[in-house]
Amino acid sequence: MKKIIIVAISENNVIGKTNGEMPWHVKDEFKHFKDTTFGYPIIMGRKTFETLGKPLKGRLNIIITRNKNYSVSFNDVIILDSLEKSFSYCEQNNFEKVFVIGGGQIYSQAISLVDEMIISKMKFKAEGEVEFPKINETDWIIEKIMEHELFEVFLYRRKNVRQN
C-alpha cells in the first residue's frame, strides 16, 4: 500500500491557520486534490475534519484524535487515535493507496513514514500560523512537476522505495 502526503503550500511554507482554515481558495487546486484522492481513504486530524464540517464524498474519511469520546454522525468516517493505527487499518483492508491530508501535526508525524508526497506549491505567499514540516531533500526524488496558473504540483518519491 502506498502512503502519500497531499498538501498545498504557499511560497512562505504556510499550509493553514491555527483554527484549521485554509488561507486561500484556488478552485483548480481543489479540483486537483479531489481528482487525486477520490476513491481512496484520506487521513486527517480532528481540526482538519472540523474545518471541513463533513466527510469528503467518495472517500473513506479517517479522523485521528486522542479524544476517546470524540464522535461524529456521518457514514464513511472512522475515528482512530494514531497515524499508525490508520495505516494498519488501510493495509488490513487492502487499499492500494492512502492519502494523508493534514493538518500540521499529522504531516509532521507522517513525513518520515510515507512513500510519496504530492505537493502543490502555490505561486503566492499566505498568512497563517501552520507550516509544512521541513523536507529533507536528500530523502526524496522529484519525479514529476506539473505546471498550473497559480501553482505547480511536485510529485516526490522517497529514495530507495520499490515501485509497484
Q: Helix, strand, or coil here: 102?
A: strand
Tell me how far apart the alpha carbons of residues 7 and 22 are, in angstroms, rounded to a whole number.
Answer: 11
Structural domain contains residue 96: yes
Which of the pair, 108 or 163, is modelled with greater confidence?
108
Structural domain contains residue 49: yes
pLDDT digits (tens, 9 = 90+) for 116-155: 999 999 999 999 999 999 999 899 999 999 999 999 999 9
Structural domain contains residue 54: yes
Domain carrying residue 87: 2-158
Helices (H), 38-159: 46-52, 83-92, 104-110
Residue 132 is part of a domain; what is its CATH number?
Answer: 3.40.430.10
Instruction: Give yes or no for residue 162 having a pLDDT over 90.
Output: no
Give me the number of domains the chain comprises.
1
Structural domain contains residue 163: no
Instruction: Give yes or no for residue 79 having a pLDDT over 90.
Output: yes
The predicted pLDDT at position 163 comes to 56
Cell triple for 54? 463533513
pLDDT digits (tens, 9 = 90+) for 147-161: 999 999 999 999 986
The predicted pLDDT at position 164 comes to 53
Q: Which residues pair with 121 in a beta bridge?
A: 9, 152
Tell me how far apart the alpha carbons of residues 158 and 142 are, in angstroms, rounded to a whole number.
Answer: 9
Do the Cβ atoms of 121 and 9 come closer than 8 Å? yes
The predicted pLDDT at position 49 comes to 95
Structural domain contains residue 164: no
pLDDT digits (tens, 9 = 90+) for 1-12: 999 999 999 999
pLDDT digits (tens, 9 = 90+) for 84-117: 999 999 999 999 999 999 999 999 999 999 999 9
Instruction: Give yes or no for residue 20 having a pLDDT over 80.
Output: no
Tell me how far apart the alpha carbons of residues 126 and 144 are, in angstroms, rounded to a whole number.
Answer: 25
The predicted pLDDT at position 75 comes to 85
The predicted pLDDT at position 48 comes to 92
pLDDT digits (tens, 9 = 90+) for 49-74: 999 999 999 999 999 999 999 999 99
